[in-house]
Amino acid sequence: MSNITIIENFLLLGFSGDRKLQILHFVIFLAMYLAILMGNLLIITLVAVNSHLHTPMYFFLVNLSVLDLGSTSVVMPKSMANSLKNISLISYSECVTQMFFFLHFLSSDFFLLTVMAYDRYVAICHPLHYSSMMKWSSCIQMAGGVWVAGFLNAVLHTGTVFSLPFCSNVINQFFCEIPHVVKISCSDSYLNELWALLFSAISLLGCFVFIVVSYVQIFTAVMRMPSLANRQKAFSTCIPHITVIFTFVGTSMFAYFMPIFNSPYNVDQVLAVLYIVVPPMMNPIIYSMRNKDVKAALWTSLGFILGKKTKKMPPIHL
């Protein structure tokens, strides 16, 4: 107990202490963050301004874009600011807030992907009952449930982690990530965090099983369709969602299930970048490239904007 320290600030080691590498880190993160902002804001704008996209599928897609913007915005700007200012400090309250909101957005993301799988299941396996089963009131309730579930998961883990006593304030990561914060605890941290991890693992495993079962039934129904055009249309709405799921789950599992490295090559930081940056940056690309409705809305909006700009100015009579 004599080693326990009262923590006011944490030290985020980041990628490097070299000034040139810090500037490079700032430039790379800025480029990726701007790409994430533009891509997801474009999806939100397209759905908002195109009435034919006002369907449950695109309502959930807007929620996904908001969650992606949130998860990156609570991590990347702080990391960029530290690199630009050549500092590494984050206050205790900032660290708690950052971990809470990051977990909230990240876990809500996965719960939302589960709801989106259910939406595709109803649309393809029960098309005649889709309008009654996926009413706007039901969609809003499901989206609200996603945000509440993410909130509760974030409260559970953040409360558990920051109830631990800390012997150090040095976090070997560029943000307040659970494994690295737990690592600097003085207590038997694995036992303290085990019950929270077990609860989350059961919840996430249940969601993953639900997604797999839904898509097994979806593919079974699609293969029974007599029309090739209908099969292609069904696959075109499912493939983007499946790709997003594999991108999100793959990068997250790869980052969280790999052991924490004490390596000079910043392996942990690179793994964190994979699941923080790659899914939010790829999701708009995946949906815009594979989804005909989104592409049509994009070209319609661009045509409208360019058409307004190319209109001839009325003659001025002197």
Burial class (CB in 10 A: 0-12, 13-18, 19+), 195: exposed
* DSSP-H helix ranges across 126-188: 130-133, 136-161, 178-183
Contact call for residues 198 and 182 (beta carbons, < 8 A): no
Residue 299 has pLDDT above 70, yes or no: no
Residue type, 124: I
Lowest mean pLDDT among 56-65, 151-160, 296-305: 296-305
Tens digit of each residue's pLDDT (9 = 90 or more) over 190-214: 566 667 677 777 888 888 899 999 9
Task: Tell me the percentage of the chain whose pLDDT exceeds 70.
Answer: 80
Tens digit of each residue's pLDDT (9 = 90 or more) over 73-116: 999 999 999 888 888 889 999 999 999 999 999 999 999 999 99
Contacts 24+ apart (CB under 8 A), 46-50: 46/294, 46/297, 46/298, 46/301, 47/297, 49/301, 50/297, 50/300, 50/301
Tens digit of each residue's pLDDT (9 = 90 or more) over 117-133: 999 999 889 988 898 89
Q: What is the CA radius of gyration of the chain?
A: 23
Contacts 24+ apart (CB under 8 A), 89-95: 89/9, 89/10, 89/11, 89/12, 90/9, 90/10, 90/12, 90/176, 91/8, 91/9, 91/10, 92/7, 92/8, 92/9, 92/10, 95/10, 95/171, 95/176, 95/181
Contact call for residues 104 and 186 (beta carbons, < 8 A): no
The CATH superfamily of 9-295 is Rhodopsin 7-helix transmembrane proteins (1.20.1070.10)
How many CB atoms within 10 Å of residue 61?
Answer: 28
